[in-house]
Amino acid sequence: MTSRSKSILAAALKNYNAQTNADTMVPATSGLGLCTESDSDAEPFSPDVSEYSPSSESDDTDADANEVLDGMEETPTRTKQPRKRLRQPEKWKRNISKIKRQHGEAYISSRKKFVPGACMRDACTLTCRKKCYQKFSYEERLSIFRRYYDLETYERKRDFIHTNTEKIDKKVATQQASRRNFTVIFYLRKEKTNEKVKVCKTMFLNTFGIRKGVVDIAMTKRTKENTSESDKRGRHIKKQTTHEIVSSVRNHIESFPVVESHYCRSDSKRKYLDPSLNINVMYEMDKQSRQEHNLDVAKPCAYRKIFSEEYNLGFHRPKKDQCRIYWKSYVDSTLTVRKEDINGEAVSWQKMCWLNFTKERPFVIRFKQKNFKEEFRSLDCTKRTRNKSDFRVVERKPLYVEALPISKEKYIDLNSLFTSVPPAISSEYKSFYENIPHKENTKSKKLQESQGSGSESD
């Protein structure tokens, strides 16, 4: 779709929607004549069909974007869909890999290496003196294996190892120096009876699918209460903002009026503050106000975090709220540019100099490439889809039942224009100005009432 054809369709569609009861002819900005008619066979520019009125629309689209937002009556509210996307640690690759590692599943390490998942290995060999392979079946060992990897943290896994092991002093001591200071006795529990059965080290490690180092670390972190020490990795002193400061920031943000988007209401819940504001300006205002009352001030990062994560607010009018951009998007979704008219003849949008359309068929454009003897050709711009579009004119209810009256002083001042020399307004319009609704001025009425009451008292 070329820019010229888009502007033609947008102007035609906008002219159609702007009509109320009377048909209107609007010239296009590129010199094209746009007109409507009640009878398709009548001449578009005849006085009994249409009345010419030049378009007052400005071509400057930046003016709409720079307008100050009016009608601000609402205040900001906290929302679950804030200005910025919230953190979702459960979807981070690092945390996903950590969860998979805790559950014994295969994962990709931080160095992009594939790490296979944990698996239960075979039981001890036939040469085992305790005959552990005869004490537990494959299903029983598999149940123990799954219970171990269902635990989500290292602390709980170490506690599980502590409950199934026993740490005692070594029984045999030699004169030679030895690194062995204690002996670990291993147990596995029967699932039905919860009975602890003594097993060998190989049977224990192979059932859980772990190495000897896991047991050694668990033994070093074992406390007197037979529990595991807390994992101190990533722990630090929390520096939280006080509730009083957080509530004051919320109250300050909610003190500003906001306005909804005009055309984006169905697509976005964001509301907009005055364009002259930004987060830094709002923070400085809050900071100055609290310093005047000798109160603690929030940090800039805390103010920005609350503003971005608890509110869905913006500072400028969205581009879709500009009328030209809205009509352009509406035309793109509703109309299509045809290269042939309804008779199959080629259409040149660049050569069009006269456009005509009716209310009954708003998307069928009758056009001429010459201004005089050539007959109108018809062009259907409706999109051909399976779903039939219902194009109905939206009837707007009048805001007022009758014309609003003006003040008595303004009424007298307007009618005095006929008595000036020379008259400022032609006398043929005098009946119109004399019939303008007007009312008594409230101040003068009260003054008259007060004067009347004073005279009665005298």
Helix (H, G, I), strand (E, B) or coil at 450: helix
Taking only the tens place, the pLDDT of each residue in 56-115 is 443 444 444 344 444 445 777 777 777 777 788 888 999 999 999 989 999 999 899 999
Cis ω on the peptide bond leading into residue 422 (within 30° of 0)? yes
With a cut of 60, say whether residue 265 has pLDDT above it. Answer: no
Q: Which residues contact 292 (CB under 8 A, 6 or more apart)?
A: none
The C-alpha atoms of residue 108 and residue 103 are separated, in whole angstroms, by 14
Tokens of 393: 């004119």
As a whole number, mean pLDDT of residues 347-370 equals 82
Neighbours of 33 (CB within 10 A): 18
Which stretches of 51-187 are DSSP H helices? 62-65, 93-102, 138-149, 154-163
Q: Are 107 and 101 in contact (CB under 8 A)?
A: yes
Tokens of 32: 């094209």
Q: Are 13 and 362 in contact (CB under 8 A)?
A: yes
Range 296-321 burial, b when 16+ CB lie within 10 A, else e = ebbeeebbbbbbbebbbbeeebbebb
Predicted pLDDT of residue 71: 45
With a cut of 50, say whether residue 28 has pLDDT above it. Answer: no
Mean pLDDT of the chain: 76
With a cut of 80, say whether residue 41 has pLDDT above it. Answer: no
Output the pTM of the full model: 0.45
Taking only the tens place, the pLDDT of each residue in 134-143 is 899 999 999 9
Phi, psi of 230 (to 5 degrees): -70, 145
Q: Which residues contact 447 (CB under 8 A, 6 or more apart)?
A: none
More confident residue, 152 or 84: 152
**306: pLDDT confidence band, cut at 50, 70 and 90?**
very high
Tokens of 157: 């896994």
Neighbours of 427 (CB within 10 A): 8
Taking only the tens place, the pLDDT of each residue in 191-234 is 888 889 999 999 999 999 999 999 998 888 888 777 888 887 77
Residues belonging to the chain: 458
Predicted pLDDT of residue 63: 43
Long-range contacts of 334-337 (CB under 8 A, 24+ apart): 334/13, 334/363, 334/383, 334/389, 335/9, 335/13, 335/363, 335/381, 335/382, 335/383, 336/1, 336/381, 336/382, 336/383, 336/384, 337/1, 337/2, 337/5, 337/6, 337/9, 337/381
As a whole number, mean pLDDT of residues 230-242 equals 78
The C-alpha atoms of residue 112 and residue 96 are separated, in whole angstroms, by 14
Taking only the tens place, the pLDDT of each residue in 434-443 is 999 998 755 5
As a whole number, mean pLDDT of residues 282-301 equals 93
Which stretches of 293-383 are DSSP H helices? 300-310, 323-334
- Give me Rg for the CA atoms of the chain: 42
The residue ranges of every structural domain in the chain are: 3-61+322-380, 119-209, 243-320, 410-457
